[in-house]
Amino acid sequence: MSPQIFQTMNINGKICRVEALELQSNGLVAVSLIEYFDVYTWEVPPQEPLEELSNLPSAYAVKAPTGLSFTDTDSSSTNRPFLSWDEPTDFPDHEYRINVVDSSSNELTNKIVDTEFCDLGFIPVGSNYVASVSSVNTLGVESSPATLTFSVGDEPVVSVDLRDGAVLTAKLADNAVTTNKLLNNAVSSVKIADDAVTNAKIAVDAIQGDVIAAGAITESKIGADAVTTAKIADDAVTNALIATDAVNQDSIAANSVTATQIVAGTITASEIASNAITTAKIAAGAVNADKIAANSITSAKIVANTITASDIASNTITATQIAANTITSAEILAGTIVASDIQSGTLTSASGVFGAISANDITTGTLNASNVDVTNLTADNITVGTLSALRLNLDGSTLTGSASGLKISSGGVNTTELTDNSVTTYTATTSVKYYDYDGTYPNGSSSETRLGYAGSTGTLSTTSGAYFPAEAVMVETGIVRLPNVSNPIITVLAFCPNTVQASANSDAVYLRLQYRLASSSGGVSSATYSDIELRALTDNTAEQNTGIQGIVPTAYAYANYYYQFRITLRAVGVDAPTGGTRSYGPATITAITTVK
C-alpha cells in the first residue's frame, strides 16, 4: 500500500485487511480496507521498500482535444463533410461536445460524440463557420474547447441523398423548377393546369394541324386578313360560306370566271364594261336584228360589197343615200324617167339630147328662178347694176344677205370649212385665271383662292457646307379646269415685280415654274409637280421685275382636265457654299388657254 495513501486517509502505521480491489475506467484502482484488531497473535511481516511519492492526477483533471480540422464533401471518403481531432493524452476522457455556429452566431449543431469524428452533413455552403470541440471525462468534467473557423464550399446534398419520391410539392420553393430541371417529355397534359398555356408560352410554328381539335378554330380566333389563298383547300369555299355581296371585282383573279361559273341569263348590260365584248366573244349568228340598236350600224361596220339587193328594204334608198354622180345611165331602166322625176331647172342644153335651148324655145313668162339652175353664169351675162344681195337666194348657214351686202353667218365657218395651214394666228378662249400678288381677286370671286400665298415677303436660306437644294414656294394657284376644246395650248406666265435680293454666297439660284394635273379636282393635290421652265438668277445680284414663262407640254394638255401651277425660288449649293439668305417679294401667275 502506498504510504501516500496512508497519509491521505490517516491510516499510516495501521494494519488493515484488504477487502476488495476495483479497477476504474479512468485507470485508477479503488481499494476497500478493514482495520485489523490484534485479537490474534500475529506478527507484522517486514515492509518492502517503497518508491518515491508520485504526483497522481486529480480525478477532475481533463484537457481539450488537439489537431481539430474540417474536411469538405468532395474531399471526404464518405461524401459527407466532417470534423476530426486527436484524443488528448495528458488525462483520460470519456466523450466530446461539438458545437457549430455560422457567421451570424446562429447555432447549427450541438451534440455529444464518443469518437474523434463528427459528421456535419447538410450544412449549407457558406463561410466563417466556427466549430468548438471540448473533452468530457467520466465525472462529467468538461475541458475548455478547441475552436476552428472554416468554410463549406461543396453543396451538402446530392441526388443520391434523395429517396425516390422524397421531394414533394411543399418542399419546392416558388420558381425552383427551371427548364433544365425537366426531362424531355416529362410535362404531360395532366401536369398542365387549365388555361395555364398562354400565347407567350407557345413557340412560333409550334401549333400544327394534328394538335388542333376539330372545330376548335372559331371566327373569333382568326386575325384580320389571316386567311390567305394558300390557307384555303381547293374547293373548300362553297356558295354557303360566301356572304351576300362579299365577292367583288377585286376578289376575283384575272381570267378565273369562265362560262361554267356564270348562271344562264344573269349577265345584263349593266355588268358588261364598255368595249368589253369583242368580235371573238360573239358566237356566229348570235347578233340578230333585235340585238342591234337603231342607227348603230354605220358604213364603217359593213364589209365592202356585202350588201345585196335582197338586204335592202323596198323604198329604203332615197336621194340622200345616193352619192353624187353615182347613178349613170346604165343603172336607169329605159323609159322609167318621166317629167315629174326631173327637178325644175335641172335640164340644160348640155344635159339634154334635144340640143341647145334658145329664147324661141321658151314661152314668155314661163321661166322663173325656180325653173332655172344656172351653172355657167359669169359677169359678162349680167347687166351692170342689176344684181344685189337681196336678189340672191342664200342658204343662210354660211352666208347671209342684207341690204348692206353679204356677210358670214354666226358659226358659219367651222373646222370643215378651213383648209390645212389656213389659220396662221391663235385666238384665246375663256378659262383664264389670274393670281395677283397684292392680295386682290380680279373678279372678286372668293373661290379663286391663292394657295401658298405667304404674305408680302419671304426668305430662302441655305446652310453653309450643304450641297442639297433649298426651295421656297413664292405663289401657288388654285385648281383650274381646261375648257372642252380640241388641241388646247396652256401658256403659263409668272412675274416677280419685287426684288429678289442678292446673297453673299456661291449658291446657284433660279426660278422654277411648275404644273401638275389630274382628271378630277380631288386628284390634283396628290399629283407630283413637273417643271415647265427654269430661269437662273444672277449670283450675288439683286433682280427686279423678274419673269418666267413656258408652255405645258402638248402631250399633257387635256381638255376638261384640272391643273394647278406654282413658282418657286430654288437654291443649290456649289463649290463649298458659305450659306446665306435671299429675300423675295410676292409674285403673280397667269395661265392662258388657247386653241388652234
Q: Are the CB atoms for 592 and 483 separated by under 8 Å?
A: no
Q: Report H helices in 96-247.
A: none
Gap between the Cα atoms of 296 and 212, Å rounded: 63
Report the side by side order of strands in the sheet with 117-119.
66-71, 82-86, 117-119
Does this model's pTM top 0.85? My answer is no
Which cell goes with 197? 398555356
Give me the pLDDT at residue 440, please: 41
Which cell goes with 393? 337666194
- Under the phi-then-psi rule, with left for phi > 0, alpha for psi from -120 to 50, and beta for the rest, what region is 411? left
At CA 25, angle to CA 93 and CA 59, rounded to 5? 60
H-run or E-run covering 426 = none
Q: Are the CB atoms for 492 and 551 separated by under 8 Å?
A: yes
Which cell goes with 230? 394558300
Distance of CA 72 to the CA centre of its chain: 62
Gap between the Cα atoms of 98 and 274, Å rounded: 108
Q: Are strands 146-152 and 126-136 parallel, antiparallel or unpaired?
A: antiparallel
Which cell goes with 225? 386578313
Residues 6+ apart with CB under 8 A from 46: none
Which cell goes with 14? 495501521
Give me the pLDDT at residue 442, please: 41
Gap between the Cα atoms of 406 and 389, Å rounded: 6
CATH of domain 66-155: 2.60.40.10
Gap between the Cα atoms of 337 and 346, Å rounded: 13
Q: Are strands 562-572 and 82-86 parallel, antiparallel or unpaired?
A: unpaired
Q: Where are the domains of the chain?
A: 3-35, 66-155, 427-595
Q: What is the per-residue DSSP string for 340-385?
A: GGSPTT---TTT-SS----GGGS-TT---GGG---SS--GGGS-TT
Give me the pLDDT at residue 520, please: 92
For residue 342, CA distances in Å to 339, 352, 363 come to 5, 12, 19
- Count CB atoms within 10 A of the CB of residue 567: 28
pLDDT tens for the chain, 596 residues: list them. Answer: 455 555 556 667 777 778 888 888 888 888 888 776 666 666 666 666 666 666 666 778 899 999 999 998 888 888 889 999 999 988 888 899 999 999 999 998 999 999 999 988 778 899 999 999 999 998 889 999 999 999 998 887 766 667 777 777 777 778 878 878 788 887 887 788 888 788 888 888 778 777 787 877 887 888 888 788 788 888 878 877 788 877 777 778 777 778 777 888 788 877 788 887 887 788 887 787 777 888 878 877 888 888 887 778 887 787 777 878 778 877 788 877 877 777 776 666 556 555 556 666 666 666 665 666 666 666 666 766 666 555 555 565 666 666 666 666 666 666 566 665 555 443 333 333 333 333 343 444 433 333 333 334 566 666 555 556 677 788 888 888 887 777 888 888 777 766 565 555 555 677 888 999 999 999 999 999 999 888 877 655 556 667 788 888 888 888 889 999 888 877 765 544 455 666 777 777 777 777 65
Give me the pLDDT at residue 434, please: 35
CATH of domain 427-595: 2.60.120
Gap between the Cα atoms of 454 and 360, Å rounded: 91
For residue 149, CA distances in Å to 19, 77, 111, 142, 529 come to 53, 22, 18, 21, 88
Gap between the Cα atoms of 547 and 511, Å rounded: 9
Gap between the Cα atoms of 57 and 34, Å rounded: 26
Give me the pLDDT at residue 573, please: 58
Amino acid (1-letter code) at residue 437: Y
CA nearest to 405, candidates 393, 388, 391: 388
Amino acid (1-letter code) at residue 424: T
Give me the pLDDT at residue 373, please: 62
H-run or E-run covering 564 = strand 562-572
List phi, psi (to 5°) of 493.
-120, 135
Which cell goes with 484? 372642252
Q: Would you state the torsion angle of the CA atoms of residues 349, 355, 357, 360, taken in this order, to the nearest 10 degrees?
A: 180
Q: Would you state the torsion angle of the CA atoms of residues 452, 454, 457, 463, taken in this order, to the nearest 10 degrees?
A: -80
Beta strands (DSSP E) in 123-270 are 126-136, 146-152
Give me the pLDDT at residue 101, please: 94
Residues 6+ apart with CB under 8 A from 519: 558, 561, 562
For residue 335, CA distances in Å to 327, 328, 329, 348, 506 come to 15, 14, 11, 20, 97
List phi, psi (to 5°) of 140.
85, 10
Residues 6+ apart with CB under 8 A from 324: none
